[in-house]
Amino acid sequence: MTKIGLEIHCQLTKLESKLFCSCKANYREFEPNHNICPVCMGLPGSLPRLNQKAVESATSIAMALSCETPEKIAFFRKNYFYPDLPKNFQITQLNVYGDMSVGGEGYVSVEDKKIKIRRIQLEEDPGRIIYEGASERTKITLVDYNRAGTPLVEIVTDPDFESPRQVRIFLNILSDLLENLGVAEPGLEGAMRADGNVSIEGGNKVEIKNIGSFHDLEKALHFEITRQQSLFERDIEIAQETRHWDDRRKITVSSRSKEEDQDYRYFLENDIPWVKIDQSTRDALKENMPESISSKKDRYVEKFDIAPQVAEIIASNRYYSKLFENSYSNSNAKDIANLITTDVIGFIDTKEKQQNSKITSQHLSDLIDAINSKTITRNSAKVALQEIMKTGKDTKIILNELDLGQVSDSSEIDTIISQIFEDEKQAVIDAKERPETVNFLVGKVMQKTNGKADPVKTLELIKLKLGQ
Ligand SMILES: [Zn+2]
């Protein structure tokens, strides 16, 4: 049996400042090494000062993942030497002397399985190492410390996953949850990274590091499982080691033997006092937490009679749920939900498009009103949405400009039908013999009218002409 565990690193990108100094948490907008100070550079004599908001955000994450949250938390020094770590130690958390990190045990449900969260800890992100050219042959390595000290939450799971597919579902659930909490933007480059550890029955645990995207993680896990199985079948020992994912060659490569906790010489970070998170603070955090995705989904299903799959798609995405929540009136909620999941999603399927989209909740309400009053067809609404997305103009103006008004006039539609009957003689014969093929003729009318003909009326008139 395959066992996979994960360590997920998620930056708290919604915070103003770094974890222990007042440099910006948003390091992405700076020139290299322009978002640094004596604290995050580890200069002698500098002292860390803990970002209280980071503790609160991390505690909210722990609560959302049903983790135990201790009354007091402590920080530790994890000692190791690497050029991206200016202090030569990372300030992080450790639970070997009891629960001292922001979150203890919790779980996430993936399909019918409960994936156990072992712990959640708050720590600082190191800087970034940039290789000029391929990393194995480069002569020049650059270090950018802008990221050093950025607040990072590490979420560690038990090895409960049995397949890479389960991992992917879990990561999607987790990233939706973090986004819904309003503490992170997992879509930002480098904002969410994961290490995986994999073992097959009878073999040692292998850790895979250096994976930049969920897509690559899935590929790396697949590769690693196959590699281990092939070693096992040939009776070769699977070494306990750390491997990294070579994105270019699409394989995992051995990088070093795995360090154990004792190799890091952990000790208490005495420059930061123990932090008390009393019951009233935790109650307040819980109260201020946004509605969870699952409760949102249940509410949509119960209150508006929306199909569970549709409700889930909308509830799990912050952008879609905001559009939905601001646009529905009780009478058109179902129509709005369907418009979002059938059409809006088709055009606005990436974070970037969501950010640039000019569609507002008002547009969606107006479009549904126009469809329901038969001013436009469903098809025209789709055309209008594409234009609204780009220009953000008022719905009525767009409908006029693109001449999308529905053609409901019977004689006008009838003229077009006569023309189609002339052009498609075989299809007419087919439709007479087999009524289920009539949609072909309806489609032709739609094509001819750029989707503007009233579909119900069109079908009625065609059937009349066919003598059905
Ligand atoms: Zn700093």
Shared-domain flag, residues 142 and 42: yes
User: What is the distance in A from the centroid of ligand 1 to the CA of 41?
Assistant: 7
User: What is the distance in A from the centroid of ligand 1 to the CA of 78?
Assistant: 19
Shared-domain flag, residues 323 and 343: yes
User: What is the distance in A from the centroid of ligand 1 to the CA of 24?
Assistant: 8
User: What is the distance in A from the centroid of ligand 1 to the CA of 141?
Assistant: 22
CB atoms near residue 122 (< 10 Å):
28
Is the pLDDT assigned to residue 159 strictly greater than 90?
yes
User: What is the distance in A from the centroid of ligand 1 to the CA of 148?
Assistant: 8
Confidence at residue 309, expressed as pLDDT on a 0 to 100 scale: 93
User: What is the distance in A from the centroid of ligand 1 to the CA of 25?
Assistant: 9
> For residue range 181-191, what is the model confidence (pLDDT) as tens digits?
999 998 888 89
Shared-domain flag, residues 339 and 437: no
Q: What is the domain count for the chain? A: 3
As a whole number, the mean pLDDT across the chain is 90
Residues around the ion ligand 1 (C-beta < 5 A): 21, 23, 37, 39-40
Shared-domain flag, residues 318 and 227: no
Is the pLDDT assigned to residue 408 strictly greater than 90?
no
Q: What is the CATH number of the domain that holds 431?
A: 1.10.10
Confidence at residue 89, expressed as pLDDT on a 0 to 100 scale: 96
Shared-domain flag, residues 157 and 14: yes
User: What is the distance in A from the centroid of ligand 1 to the CA of 26?
Assistant: 12
Shared-domain flag, residues 304 and 224: no
Mean pLDDT on 346-353: 81
Mean pLDDT on 368-382: 88
Confidence at residue 256, expressed as pLDDT on a 0 to 100 scale: 67
Shared-domain flag, residues 194 and 230: yes
Mean pLDDT on 412-421: 87
Model pTM score: 0.80
Mean pLDDT on 198-227: 90
Strands 241-246, 206-209: pairing kind: parallel
Is the pLDDT assigned to residue 209 strictly greater than 70?
yes
Give the pLDDT band (50/70/90) at residue 259: low
User: What is the distance in A from the centroid of ligand 1 to the CA of 243?
Assistant: 32
User: What is the distance in A from the centroid of ligand 1 to the CA of 355?
Assistant: 29
Range of the domain at 236: 2-284
Confidence at residue 258, expressed as pLDDT on a 0 to 100 scale: 58
Please tell me which of 72-81, 356-365, 459-468 the model is most confident about, judged by mean pLDDT: 72-81
Is the pLDDT assigned to residue 2 strictly greater than 80?
yes
User: What is the distance in A from the centroid of ligand 1 to the CA of 192?
Assistant: 21
User: What is the distance in A from the centroid of ligand 1 to the CA of 81?
Assistant: 20
User: What is the distance in A from the centroid of ligand 1 to the CA of 268?
Assistant: 21
CA distance to 112, 192, 430, per residue, from 212 (Å)? 28, 8, 55
Confidence at residue 75, expressed as pLDDT on a 0 to 100 scale: 97
> For residue range 280-296, what is the model confidence (pLDDT) as tens digits?
999 999 999 999 888 99
> For residue range 98-116, what is the model confidence (pLDDT) as tens digits?
889 999 999 999 988 999 9
User: What is the distance in A from the centroid of ligand 1 to the CA of 95?
Assistant: 27
Please tell me which of 82-86, 117-121, 293-297 the model is most confident about, judged by mean pLDDT: 117-121
User: What is the distance in A from the centroid of ligand 1 to the CA of 21?
Assistant: 5
